[in-house]
Amino acid sequence: MIYLDNAATSYPKPEKVYSEINRCMREYCANPGRGGHSMSIASGSAVLEVREIIGAFFNFANPMQLCFTKNATEALNVAIKGLLESGDHVITTSMEHNSVLRPLKTLERDSGIELTILHGNDYGEIAPEDVKKSIKKNTKLIACTLSSNVNGIVMPVKELGKLARESGIIFLVDASQGAGSIKIDVNEMNIDVLAFPGHKGLLGPQGIGGLYVGDDVKLKPIMQGGTGSSSENLYQPEVMPDILESGTLNTPGIVGLGCGIGFINSFGIDSLKVYKYELIKRLHEGLSEMKQIKLYSKNDIKNNSGIVALNVDGVDSTEVSYVLDKAYGIATRAGLHCAPLAHERLGTLKTGIVRLSVGCFNTLEEIDLTIKAFNEIVSSL
């Protein structure tokens, strides 16, 4: 199998991710923060260590500003629903995933928030001036993806963060695509709230994600429950991360995520970015020679987080993806990728798109075999 579906979830994982999850479950997987015995202390220390690894990775000083979630979707819901109230205005983009759009559209319909969705250029890239023009007196939040999961376009997050900070607006970034190959510094980028999944570019297992919440941001918890702290209190503790982190944590997932990030750190995030771009460049150049293929991604290291989005003339994206899988053993994703407005922007709402997304374990040889497969597919039309 040539796995080109890393935007959905990365595969394979670094060896240490598998081995440490196994070791954790066998040797120290007691309930972290829920007991005074040695094994509970060991699992609590392992969780704290990963909070610190993540804090260093995204450059925030206090590891307690991180709450673990089960994925990016949960993190985004915790942020959006914990922040917004009737009368608040939000600016977002058409390139967002449904995990941003659905909570926002639901709050717009049911809870009286106002929503502005900006459409950007032909690739969906947003101009900071358009965001600036959309700011109103009641704008509370700018919510933007770091990179689109449909075509990999990278948003001008640093400029948007500066604008948000100067305007006193909270800046939420969905780092689901790009975390692990694009350097994210929440201070330098003025990011107030950062949501991320552990299972994509950060190379951890499925079932773990997180939300960084800046010191000045107060979120209402959307869930209440046991935290292992202040048990006498019948209300949720107000301190981070307990205010947002009810219930037993996914300790094996957390330690696996720590090892995934450790792997990225050992190579250096910039080296991984360059390597992934080498794969994207070769793929993009090979495919752009075929006149029956239309490409929707930029071939540019600054503007592509690792995706080549395409369509083959006159063939439905699901059919192309099916042939790639069944005849060539190449895993891709077709359809709308949970991002309908992105497809509206790109003009592909009816056809969908074939998405090829590379990971740091793909090789140039695999890319060449993929180009060869496309050559055969288009020649047979």
Least spacing, CB of residue 145 vs ligand PLP, in Å: 5
Nearest to 163 by CA among 196, 189, 194, 183: 189
| DSSP three-state, residue 6 | coil
Considering only residues 43, 176, 297, 321, which one is a binding residue for ligand PLP as defined by CB under 6 A? 176
Report angle CA 163, 167, 173 to the nearest 5 degrees.
Answer: 50
Give CA–CA dist 350/311, Å, rounded. 12
Residue placing its CB nearer to ligand PLP in the complex, 149 or 304:
149
Question: Which positions are annotated as active-site residues?
Answer: 338
Least spacing, CB of residue 44 vs ligand PLP, in Å: 25
Least spacing, CB of residue 77 vs ligand PLP, in Å: 9
Can you say whether the dihedral through the CA atoms of 121, 125, 129, 135 is positive or negative? positive
Least spacing, CB of residue 199 vs ligand PLP, in Å: 6
Nearest to 208 by CA among 200, 199, 217: 199
User: Two tokens at 246?
Assistant: 């009810």
Residue placing its CB nearer to ligand PLP in the complex, 177 or 304:
177
For 4, what's the count of Cα atoms within 13 Å in the CB-facing half-sphere?
Answer: 31
Considering only residues 180, 209, 256, 352, which one is a binding residue for ligand PLP as defined by CB under 6 A? 209
User: Two tokens at 352?
Assistant: 């969908």
Interacting span for ligand PLP (CB under 6 A) from 70-78, 128-136, 162-170, 222-230: 70-78
Residue placing its CB nearer to ligand PLP in the complex, 213 or 377:
213
**What residue has token string 């928030």?**
113
Can you say whether the dihedral through the CA atoms of 21, 11, 66, 337 is positive or negative? negative
Residue placing its CB nearer to ligand PLP in the complex, 97 or 273:
97
Least spacing, CB of residue 22 vs ligand PLP, in Å: 23
**Backbone dihedral angles phi then psi of residue 353, each to the nearest 5 degrees:** -140, 150
Give the x/- contact pattern for ligand PLP in 135-174, rule: CB under 6 A: ----------x---x------------------------x
Considering only residues 73, 181, 332, 348, which one is a binding residue for ligand PLP as defined by CB under 6 A? 73
**Which position's Cβ is nearest ligand PLP?**
149
Q: Other C-beta atoms within 10 Å of 6: how many?
A: 25
What phi-psi label fits residue 205: left (phi over 0), alpha (psi between -120 and 50 degrees) or beta?
beta
197 scored as a contact of ligand PLP (CB under 6 A): yes
Give the x/- contact pattern for ligand PLP in 5-44, rule: CB under 6 A: ---x------------------------------------
Residue placing its CB nearer to ligand PLP in the complex, 44 or 82:
82
Provide the residue type at 201 as one letter.
G
Considering only residues 13, 16, 97, 298, which one is a binding residue for ligand PLP as defined by CB under 6 A? 97
Report angle CA 48, 49, 53 to the nearest 5 degrees.
Answer: 115
| DSSP three-state, residue 304 | coil
Residue placing its CB nearer to ligand PLP in the complex, 10 or 99:
99
250 scored as a contact of ligand PLP (CB under 6 A): no
N-to-C CA span, the chain: 24
82 scored as a contact of ligand PLP (CB under 6 A): no
Give CA–CA dist 318/334, Å, rounded. 5
Least spacing, CB of residue 253 vs ligand PLP, in Å: 12
180 scored as a contact of ligand PLP (CB under 6 A): no
Give CA–CA dist 228/156, Å, rounded. 40
Least spacing, CB of residue 148 vs ligand PLP, in Å: 7
71 scored as a contact of ligand PLP (CB under 6 A): yes
Count of positions on this chain that bind ligand PLP (CB under 6 A)? 13
Q: Which residues lie near ligand PLP (CB under 6 A)?
A: 8, 71-73, 97, 99, 145, 149, 174, 176-177, 197, 209
